[in-house]
Structure 1
């Protein structure tokens, strides 16, 4: 049996594992779409896929940097952040990565389904399409991880709020010490 107060700490192994997994998936997304950004120079049947890849790169970079900050604070300074900070920044990371991934998927999947047409000669570039599909999957995993971390932070804030109300009620119901 685990202690509930240990589960609400941001140093819990499950939370640290989720944070590390979010950071690794964000870095993987960055690498995949940085490669895809360069590979879009060789195809011509997309709607400027390079600019769409930049959108995912920006949101994944934010998610990676945000995941790196609490890990750094936790490991180097041995300090905990307020759960409200996690609520705000994990929700932003979830929203940014999820929305840019879904938007880019909805636009580029139509062009990438059969492979992109190459520039200069008649060929089909299926490697770029496959790498982008892999990147979309990893980006969606990243957004799910940030959503889980967001829900955890909401639960922790609710837990702390209820604990403070219990303490306030206990103090108000305590008999006065000295009546003279």
Structure 2
């Protein structure tokens, strides 16, 4: 990790990832993350440059209660294009994605708002309005750390530029 003015630059280790069991059968728990306590309710936002283009390169935010309870959300390069998505792990991981090829080379903000038994994930590119990514079940009352994350499952040399990281109150409404 280094800084460049106000930005945080993170070089991901080749093979780093976060995943538990589902479909692939393996467990990876070595994604790079900078975490701070997040209240319940509370929200975290991370802004990152999407200037990566190798299979499974990824960056965004993570909420982590432990090895078997976490959520990561952001932009992952998969199948030849940036994909906006989230992985929720409650013992086993799942994965939801939607292609956003027009987000390549741009600045993306991901927001996770935790309240009650759920986390609402939203994202936007540049200054466009936030769009709903996912509403996910998440255990209430469990302490979590939250902040930026990145990983490079298939290559060396990924450097991710994080432009902003902030916490604050949870969103008042789902929409």
TM-score by length of 1: 0.23
TM-score by length of 2: 0.23
Work out which of the two has the higher radius of gyration on C-alpha atoms and give 1 or 2. 1
Q: Which one scores higher on RCO, CA 8 angstroms, separation ≥ 6? A: 2
